[in-house]
Structure 1
């Protein structure tokens, strides 16, 4: 894969992630959260919204001919979750959208077929550690 195609893959993934998230931003999730219902929103609606944003991003990447698109749609939200639970707390919508774009671009880079396996492992290892530290460890403990 030439460098131009890799850059296009990363840009399409970043835009798809942001557009998928913005499309779900219109969902009235705050109306669901009143009183004890906030517990159910946290357990059911939020994971479904993350899944929905990932599916929308997958569809957009597939339309833009990012092949394969499914690993990017899976790794992008996991990367975003790992980074926001451990390193960065986005304070505004533009900062959050920048994190989404960066996470999906990173996922597109790591899942590119032509990237050597040593580079994939070297790039993905810190994110796997952050995911274990910020997501898995609080669940287990």
Structure 2
């Protein structure tokens, strides 16, 4: 545990870059596989299971990428990365109108920010300062979809 308390700038940058690559690979996997698994009238149940399985597979892919890239520990970044990326993508850009490259850049930034937020040795004040805007953005982007329209 002690080895995680202080990270050099080089180690922090590597952690952010590997995490960003894991997020980009996860999004690319979802984009490339969407609609490819099953098509036609014989696939009535598959679409119901396809999205959760695809998103779970993307999460595992990002986690494995970060673990292979020696991001230690990788699981907090893998858990926080999709939420930070979703908060940024949903609230800050219009997904339907932006090109895939812009979405990938925002997802990479979200995973890199998650890597910073979950880094050991980060002071509690900095952690709170980084997490609070992401929680507000995530709630601001998700809650309107959960509340029925009048």
TM-score normalized by the length of structure 1: 0.84
How many pairs does the alignment contain? 139
Larger radius of gyration: 2
- CA-CA distance at 1:126 after TM superposition: 0.5
The Cα RMSD (Å) is 2.5
- Which among 80, 85, 95 is matched to residue 85 of structure 2? 80
Q: Secondary structure at the match of 1:49?
A: helix
- CA-CA distance at 1:137 after TM superposition: 4.2
Q: 4+ residue stretches of structure 1 with deviation over 6 A?
A: none
For residues 65-107 of structure 1, the C-alpha deviation after alignment (integer angstroms, 9 at most, x for no partner) is 1111011111111111112222212411111111111111011
Q: Secondary structure at the match of 2:120?
A: coil
1:69 aligns with: 74
Cα distance in 2 between the residues matched to 1:18 and 1:77: 11
Q: Secondary structure at the match of 1:99?
A: helix
Which structure: greater helix fraction? 1
Ranges in structure 1 where 5+ consecutive residues have no aligned partner:
none
Cα distance in 1 between the residues matched to 2:111 and 2:75: 12
